Amino acid sequence: MWIINRSQPMLETLPLLNDALADPKSEKPMQPASCQNETRSIKPEILVAVGICTHLGCSPSAKFKKGTEDGMDASWLGGFLCPCHGSTFDFAGRVFKNKPAPDNLEVPPHMYLSEKRILIGEDKKGA
């Protein structure tokens, strides 16, 4: 399970990528209703996601640096690379178009019990 504290610059990349993504509005049911938004999260800065590629189940790697610094191409704005077959995901776990992975990374049901405590597996509706 990934819990990632995204910086403001990371969040600012999200609206720039919509045309390059397979499901930019998260229309497929890969997240609870509470996370069907641009950041795919309850709190904009905190991403809770299952770190398993939706292609064949490898674990994507963090490629958080822009451009070629992390071995990606010059247009890369940061996100995740699945090394198995090359699927790429943005900082919201949204998959890029024309990649083997068919879906965005799963965001599980979760809820905040307090400012710093997250319960994963349930949401406020008891899902």
Residue closer to ligand FES (CB basis): 33 or 62: 62
Binds ligand FES by CB under 6 A, chosen from 22, 38, 96, 100? 100
Instruction: Give the tokens for residue 92.
Output: 């919201």
* Stretch 37-76: interaction string toward ligand FES, x if CB under 6 A: ----------------x-xxxx------------------
* Residue 87 CB, nearest approach to ligand FES (Å): 4
Q: 46 forms bridges with which residues in the sheet?
A: 5
Judged on CB neighbours under 10 Å (0-12, 13-18, 19+), 33 is exposed
Instruction: State the Cα–Cα distance between residues 4 and 7, nearest whole angstrom.
Output: 9
Residues 6+ apart with CB under 8 A from 55: 82, 84, 85, 87, 99, 100, 101, 102
55 is catalytic: no
* Stretch 9-38: interaction string toward ligand FES, x if CB under 6 A: ------------------------------
Q: Which residues are identified as catalytic?
A: 85
